[in-house]
Amino acid sequence: MPTSISATPEVISAQEHERIVIRNALVLTMDCDNPNEVESTSQVLLGAQKECDVVIESGVINAISPNAGSNQSGGRVIQGRGCVVMPGLIDSHTHPIFSGSRATETVLKAQGLSYEEVAARGGGIVVSMRATRAASVNELKTSYLQRAKQALARGVVAWEAKTGYGFAASPEMHGLDNYIQALIDALPQFASLAQKYAQIKSVLPLAVDIFLERNYFTREQADRWLSAALQHGLDVHIHADEFSRSGGCEAAIALAQRVEQTQPRVRSKGRVLSVDHLQYATDHDLVKLQSLGVVPVVLPLTSFFSNLAYVEGRKLRSAGVRAAIASDFNPGTAPLNSLWFAAFLALVKGGFAVSEVLNGVTRHAASAMGIEASYGVLQVGRPARLMMFEGTCPEDFFASPMGDHLKMVMV
Ligand SMILES: [Zn+2]
């Protein structure tokens, strides 16, 4: 049982030619593929190994097995007894590039107003757009880096950071259709940026997204934008079916089917990666998405802060779906930079099983971002992106809702 609280977890950046050995920990590799993910904490589903060592050489995992580190001399030794080691968390849905506060909105919602009512009173996303556009690039960069460091210290080793608040407001673009067209015209630039960034290790692949919802973008606009992006080799996501059944899942299914027809089997670029939110998705939608390799992403913090229904683990389980869990961290509807708390809510409010939660914030989240080849599981030969918290069983992840018992993060 966790006994103490580490004020700030140590963040270790594994160096070239450095050997690090973690000894005698309970290691959850997440490296298993069992289609029957129904039991609550089957150790098998988490790839659990007791009294296990993890040997890291030059930042790469060299061995994961009991006593693998006992004959190693030199290097740094980390005592893992009484601790759980697992892959670092992956947050596949965040909006961390913003300026300004939307605390007024929180107060209005506390008085019973819905997100749509808040928006009708001039609140909501427009507030973030104005404040972000008014901020200098330097200001945005500084606050972004602070938020990224905060996430890292809370166990997140990779996240998808959505932009968007800074783009031109639609009135200036004479309506959303023209706005979409302007974005489509800029796609060659985005695609060449994506190629440039592909050379930089710390930058993950660029992707595009759209908020398909009544009073925001329409199905037709989403189709135009996402089809064009796919043609430019960019991966896509959709914010879908959050406040109503507005066609987001259907749009994703149609796009993914088209992608499959034009270029069957293994694609490395231009994929429909995920459909996010899903409060109003049907079982049929979920089954179809799963069969097309599109990852459903649930965002329990948004439900918590906006008094929306939680997507139920039971519903996903009965559809045979493996969902990712993400924070949706943003200044309005989820003003908390904590994937750990999102995971906690998925357990206590969404009724997800322990193995579903832990896979949902690591392995499935990596799939939702298209980075599953190098993130989300612990495997020999892969970079050591992991974390260690106090505990003796997988359930101890939930010993504190924000991960106060996290001791170490390695990247
Ligand atoms: Zn979002």
Report if residue 360 sits inside a domain: yes
* 109 and 158 belong to one structural domain: yes
Report yes or no on whether pTM surpasses 0.75: yes
Which residue matches tokens 């298209």? 370
Name residues whose C-beta falls within 8 Å of residue 112's C-beta, 6 or more positions apart in sequence.
Answer: none
Q: Domain containing 200 — which CATH number?
A: 3.20.20.140
* 253 and 360 belong to one structural domain: yes
Report the separation in Å between the CA atom of 6 and the middle of ligand 1, taken as the mean of its atom positions. 31
Report the separation in Å between the CA atom of 339 and the middle of ligand 1, taken as the mean of its atom positions. 14
* 83 and 107 belong to one structural domain: no
The pLDDT tens digits of the residues spanning 44-94 come to 789 999 999 999 999 999 999 999 988 777 889 999 999 999 999 999 999
Q: Is the Cβ–Cβ distance between 153 and 8 less than 8 Å? A: yes
The pLDDT tens digits of the residues spanning 381-399 come to 999 999 999 999 999 999 9
Report the separation in Å between the CA atom of 184 and the middle of ligand 1, taken as the mean of its atom positions. 21
Q: Domain containing 68 — which CATH number?
A: 2.30.40.10
Report the separation in Å between the CA atom of 239 and the middle of ligand 1, taken as the mean of its atom positions. 6
Report the separation in Å between the CA atom of 328 and the middle of ligand 1, taken as the mean of its atom positions. 5
Report if residue 296 sits inside a domain: yes
Report the separation in Å between the CA atom of 237 and the middle of ligand 1, taken as the mean of its atom positions. 10
* 219 and 196 belong to one structural domain: yes
* 312 and 353 belong to one structural domain: yes
Report the separation in Å between the CA atom of 298 and the middle of ligand 1, taken as the mean of its atom positions. 11
Report if residue 351 sits inside a domain: yes
* 84 and 107 belong to one structural domain: no
Report the separation in Å between the CA atom of 52 and the middle of ligand 1, taken as the mean of its atom positions. 38
Report the separation in Å between the CA atom of 77 and the middle of ligand 1, taken as the mean of its atom positions. 40
* 121 and 189 belong to one structural domain: yes
CA distance 407 to 397: 12
CA distance 271 to 283: 22
Report the separation in Å between the CA atom of 279 and the middle of ligand 1, taken as the mean of its atom positions. 13
* 169 and 312 belong to one structural domain: yes
Report if residue 4 sits inside a domain: no
Q: Which domain holds residue 237?
A: 90-369
* 232 and 364 belong to one structural domain: yes
* 287 and 386 belong to one structural domain: no
* 24 and 108 belong to one structural domain: no
Report if residue 107 sits inside a domain: yes
Report if residue 154 sits inside a domain: yes
Report the separation in Å between the CA atom of 96 and the middle of ligand 1, taken as the mean of its atom positions. 10
CA distance 320 to 186: 39
Pairing of strands 89-94, 156-161: parallel
Name residues whose C-beta falls within 8 Å of residue 179's C-beta, 6 or more positions apart in sequence.
Answer: 167, 168, 170, 173
* 398 and 362 belong to one structural domain: no
pLDDT tens, per residue, the chain with 411 residues: 455 555 689 999 988 899 999 999 999 999 886 545 555 456 778 999 999 999 999 999 999 999 998 877 788 999 999 999 999 999 999 999 999 999 988 888 889 888 788 888 888 888 898 899 999 999 999 999 999 999 999 999 999 999 877 665 556 566 888 889 999 999 999 999 888 888 887 778 889 999 888 878 899 999 999 999 999 999 999 998 888 888 889 999 999 999 988 765 555 678 999 999 988 888 899 999 999 999 999 999 999 998 888 999 998 988 889 999 999 999 998 999 999 999 999 999 999 999 999 999 999 999 999 999 999 999 999 999 999 999 999 999 999 999 999 999 999
Report if residue 374 sits inside a domain: no
Report the separation in Å between the CA atom of 137 and the middle of ligand 1, taken as the mean of its atom positions. 22
Give the number of domains in the chain.
Answer: 2
Report if residue 3 sits inside a domain: no
Give the pLDDT score at 40. 43
